[in-house]
Amino acid sequence: MSIERIEKRQGATLVAPALLWTLVFFVLPFLAMALMSLSHLEGRSVVSGPDLRNYAKIFTEPSLLKGIAVSLEITALVTVISVALAWPLAWIIATRIPVRWRRLALLLAVLPFWTSYVVRSYSWALVLGEKGVVMNALVGLGMLSEPVQIMATRSATVIGFVHFFVMLLTLTIYSNLIQLSPNYARAAEDLGASRWQVIRLVILPLTLPGVVTGAFLTFVLCIGDYITPQILGGNNELTLPQLIMLQLGRRGDYPMASALSLVLMLIVTLAYLACARWLKMERV
Amino acid sequence: MRTLSWVYLGAIFTFILLPVVVLVIFSFQDGRLPVPPFKGATLKWYAKILADRDLMEALVNSLMVAVLSSLVAVTLGFLAASGLARTVLPGSALMRGLLIAPMTVSYLIIGLGLLQMFNQVGIRPSLLATGIGHVVINLPLCFAIVYAAIGEHQKSALQAARDLGAREWQVLWHIAAPMLAPSLAAAFFLSFTFSWDEFIIAFLLTRFDVTLPVEIWSMLRSGLSPATNAVGSLVFLVSVAVVVTLELTLFRKGSK
């Protein structure tokens, strides 16, 4: 055997366990799920297809169709608001705060990361509830005559999500900003640009690739999340993950849950392709 | 612009920190509901949760699942990264893609797929099943971190060891692992955090023995309670303590 072949065989031996794990516990379940989505439930038993009944149902039944729309709307709204709030924060920390306080400011900006995800949603339920701190303060200050219902509405879901993703995006945008050479801003200023012009026309465009990557991450994590809409949004309007869990719980409808999951994956894949294409265009 | 910056900073920090502050304050609430008015401080809710056997069991379960699944994920990721960094194998790009793929799929879908497969082959929902799921979500991360850390310098050191007659396991154990220790530690730490906090896979794949997030979830169903605040605050304070300790010891030493 040549040395090269020994090398290759040993390399393959090292990769094999991880590859095998991924094949058995990721690819195989996925194929099983894809197959399951092509069967359907009759009464309580699964009738294997292959047929497209579940998919036909998803695109004709209003409640399921609405779930997809609700998920897309919430995710789009959350992504836009989070970027809009996180960018100025990252910029202030990167340029306005004295260097020795920067680490502390960044640490404070992501402090709630360190409590658990379930607890974070719960604490927003605490804050936004009818008797919660916010309503209490607003009524106490005379800004509202009586509490407004926020909990169990879309607003609560959006607030909970934005809270999480502002932290995430602040980190990604900040790491982008501190890598920029200060010469860009100096050059623009020398050429007579005002401060706002520097930010809008120079710094902002330079951070766009980082922003798009962060926004994609936000999109993927937001649209696939079950906890936040379930705890904060309640059952008035269901998102796609809530619908998937509902199929499992109520009737044990695995075929439908599988079909909805594949739709969710399709949406994420489309978003990925859109971002990848945009980033490539940007680089050329 | 300076004033505007400070006003913005104040507003956004209030938004970010408000829920955590409220969570911690009302964990000391001397009353049945964790909402204003604050009726005075007590530690009885902490005493209650520390005496709660289900909760403590769930905490131990979570630690176990997090440590073991992270160890498996780091080991598999380390081996795969060393293998792929070593030579160009036929289909290298495809293998890398496959190993990274689970990163782009929602946890819910990974959990659902595993649940269905386990049902079909007769594996009951358990901590083991959850651990398997956690390795699936963390393996891509571990692989990517370690793979990125193997540069030309590392490759030539490994090659030198092989040329001097070291066996493959000796190369891995005596050369590669110590050389890559910082990234292995980072991969382990991140995996641990993700596993520790993961809810949906654990929710789908456990039944009687549950992990901490699932136990907290079932506490939520009985409505708002200062006891839940106390659990949340405790998790928060312990995590912050761990992070601060790591920051002060491990990373400070590393930077010197």
pLDDT of residue A284: 53
B136 domain residue, yes or no: yes
Identify the pLDDT of residue B256: 39
Q: Is A132 close to B35, i.e. CB distance below 8 A?
A: yes
Query: Would you tell me how many other CB atoms lie within 10 Å of the CB of residue A150?
Result: 20
d(CA B235, nearest CA chain A) in Å: 6
Is B191 within the bounds of a domain? yes
Asked if A127 contacts A140 with a C-beta cutoff of 8 angstroms, the reply is no
Q: Is B72 inside a domain boundary? A: yes
ipTM: 0.91
Say if the Cβ atoms of B199 and A118 lie within 8 Å. Answer: yes
- Euclidean distance between CA atoms A105 and A112, whole angstroms: 13
Token code pair at residue A270: 């489309």
Residue of higher predicted confidence among A182 and A121: A121
Q: How far is A22 from chain B (nearest CA, A)?
A: 7
Residue A136 lies in a domain: yes
- Domain with B211 in it: what CATH number? 1.10.3720.10
In a domain, B79, yes or no: yes
Domain carrying residue B83: 45-255
Partner-chain contact B87 A36, CB within 8 Å: no
Q: Name the DSSP letter for residue A93.
A: I
Structural domain harbouring A97: 63-283
Q: Do A85 and B12 touch (CB under 8 A)?
A: yes
% of chain A surpassing 90 pLDDT: 55
Average of per-residue pLDDT across B192-202: 94
What domain count does chain A have? Answer: 1
Number of structural domains in chain B = 1
Domain assignment present for residue A183? The answer is yes
Distance between A60 CA and the closest CA of chain B, angstroms: 23
> Is A46 domain-assigned?
no
Work out the minimum CA distance from B119 to partner chain A, whole angstroms: 11
pLDDT band for position A1 (cuts 50, 70, 90): low
Q: Which of B120, B168, B235 sits opposite A10 (nearest CB)?
A: B168
A101 within domain boundaries: yes
The answer to whether the CB of A242 falls within 8 A of the CB of A230 is yes
Mean per-residue pLDDT over chain A, rounded = 90
Buried b (16+ CB within 10 A) or exposed e, A229-261: bbbbbbeebbbbbbbbbbbeeeeebbbbbbbbb
Q: Is the pLDDT of residue B40 over 90?
A: no
Confidence class for position A35, pLDDT limits 50, 70, 90: very high
pLDDT(A52) > 70: yes
Pairing of strands A40-42, A45-47: antiparallel
pLDDT in tens, A215-264: 999 999 999 999 999 999 988 899 999 999 999 987 789 999 999 999 99
B105, B180, B193, B243: best to mutate for the A interface, most A CBs within 10 A? B105
Query: Residue A167 and residue A82: Cα distance in Å, rounded?
Result: 9
Least confident among B63-67, B123-127, B135-139, B246-250? B246-250
Alpha helices in B40-180 (DSSP H): 44-50, 53-86, 92-100, 107-121, 127-149, 152-163, 168-170, 177-179
Check which CATH number belongs to the domain holding A67 and give it: 1.10.3720.10
B213: contact with A, CB 8 A cutoff: yes
Q: Which of B8, B23, B196 minimises the CB distance to A88?
A: B8
